[in-house]
Homo-oligomer: A and B are copies of this chain.
Amino acid sequence: MVEHFFYPKTIAIIGATEDSKKFGNAVTINLLENESLKSEIFPVNPKSETICNLKSYPSVLEIPKEIDLAIILVPSKVVSFVVNQCIEKKVKRLIIVSAGFGEINEEGKNVQDAIAKKCKEADIRVMGPNCVGIQNLDIGINASFIQTPLKGNVSFITQSGSFGAACLYEMDWQGLGFSKFVNLGNMIDVNYTDMLEYMKDDNNSEVVCIYLENVVDGRNFYSKLKEVAKIKPTVVLKGGRTISGMKSASSHTGSMATSYSSLKTAVKQAGAIMCENLPDYIAAIKAFALLPIPEGEKIAVLSNSGGSAVLFSDNAEEYGLELAEFSEELKQKIDPFLISLVKKVNPLDMIAGAAEEEYYQVTKAMLEDPNIDIVVPCSVIPTFLGMQPDEHFKGVIRAWNETGRKKPMLPLMMSGNLLKPIKEIARKEKVPIFLSPKETAYAAKVLVDLMRKRNQDKI
């Protein structure tokens, strides 16, 4: 149903331009600069003969082919006129990027309602207005004015466009890639429910994440959310949880924000993960995108830093998690790799001298232990004893690979400006890194939450 948004054979850019100070230029360039793009692009701008070496059409009506998707970037006052042409042209899908509608005043609201009505009558689905556009990285489409992220297994539905861009930055930094990105804006037609319906059956959308400020058509939304969350990790962040936030959200997308407490309950009941802030949201998406769901909740921790392991233990307990007791077998297995000062308790503080080999051996022993479900290797990157900044990380990745990546491993790497080589390895090897004990514990918590929920559902 929303297929043509993501897999259009032909795209018209209405308001395309070579003027780099205009959004119509950003969308045109984002579409054209991707070499793997297979869709045919038709710039529409009556003032130009050509745009970026493509013939420019005075209106969508002049384009000699059927148009699957038209992206509208003209000033708000001419949007209705352009939409009429699209209806006449029988364009299949519309994205209205232009702002200046329901989010600014009652008049804008009336205009957008009229657009919605006539598109519905013409059987044209509409996304926006007041949005940055959509992306389908699977086939190299960036039909938005924001950056192109990495390709990957996360699909992202966001009500706020530039906050969506902020999330793309965070996830790119973490080496996380996207399948689909969609910004819904004022949602005069296409909404969360439509997108969830699509992503449920889209194989490349392995993790679904949502940023929302208000819910329309709550019953359908929750029921669709439940269907998706049953088969795919689904992560939700809500803007406008408080009175200040709601006031602000309402001025932003022109709609009343939804009460947080009822939303939270409903999202949890649907089996999705509700995050309370951006760092938690990113941590949860990272965990689901890069790690398997654990089979149980027994956590083992190894560290070269007592304090870091202490803080992780605190954060884990604060999230309702518990560290496992080490079995005698495990203690014997790791003993040869530990100096005599090390107490064989969980968290295991191997002390500052522990190097790659110790990290490799101990992580591997823990991953192989049937009494352990989740392994957390912590390292404060040492600058001494001739150690390399990335050696601990390399050791734990080797252990994870050799055990088939079957259990979730959450490396906490505390490294400041030495992070760079570690980050590069993480990106290349598709291994997550966590940067604080709290972030690590939160990621473990959401993995355990989902495991518990799925076990409940089985009963």
The docked-state distance in angstroms from the alpha carbon of A166 to that of B26 is 41
Q: Which residues of B contact A438 (CB under 8 A)?
A: 277-279
B380, A437: Cβ atoms under 8 Å?
Answer: no
A439, B160: Cβ atoms under 8 Å?
Answer: no
| A341-B104, A438-B278 given; A162·B305 CB < 8 A | yes
B21, A385: Cβ atoms under 8 Å?
Answer: yes
Complex: chain B residue closest to A353, CB-CB:
B23
Q: Which residues of B contact A353 (CB under 8 A)?
A: 23
Number of chain A interface residues as a range: 35 or more
A436 contacts B by Cβ under 8 Å: yes
B249, A310: Cβ atoms under 8 Å?
Answer: yes
Which one of B100, B162, B417, B439 lies within 8 Å of A341 (CB-CB)? B100
Which one of B171, B279, B417 lies within 8 Å of A173 (CB-CB)? B417
Among A245, A381, A385, residue most surrounded by chain B Cβ atoms (within 10 Å): A245
Q: Which residues of B contact A414 (CB under 8 A)?
A: 165-166, 169-170
A166, B248: Cβ atoms under 8 Å?
Answer: no
A146, B384: Cβ atoms under 8 Å?
Answer: yes
Which one of B170, B241, B252, B340 lies within 8 Å of A314 (CB-CB)? B241
Stretch at the interface among A288-296, A315-323, A326-334, A450-458: A315-323
8 Å CB interface, A412-436 against B = 414-419, 436
B343, A162: Cβ atoms under 8 Å?
Answer: no
A2 contacts B by Cβ under 8 Å: no
A304 contacts B by Cβ under 8 Å: yes
Complex: chain B residue closest to A20, CB-CB:
B386
Complex: chain B residue closest to A415, CB-CB:
B169
B307, A213: Cβ atoms under 8 Å?
Answer: yes
Complex: chain B residue closest to A378, CB-CB:
B166
CB proximity of A341 to chain B, nearest CB, Å: 5
A308 contacts B by Cβ under 8 Å: yes
A395 contacts B by Cβ under 8 Å: no
A277, B170: Cβ atoms under 8 Å?
Answer: no
A78 contacts B by Cβ under 8 Å: no
A314, B160: Cβ atoms under 8 Å?
Answer: no
A242, B308: Cβ atoms under 8 Å?
Answer: no
Complex: chain B residue closest to A148, CB-CB:
B383
Q: Which 4 A-B pairs have the closest CB atoms?
A: A163-B307, A160-B307, A169-B416, A252-B306
29 contacts between A and B (CB under 8 A): A20-B385, A21-B385, A21-B386, A23-B384, A100-B340, A104-B341, A160-B308, A160-B310, A161-B305, A162-B305, A163-B305, A165-B305, A165-B382, A166-B414, A169-B415, A171-B416, A172-B416, A244-B313, A245-B310, A245-B311, A245-B313, A248-B310, A248-B345, A248-B349, A249-B310, A252-B309, A277-B436, A278-B311, A278-B436
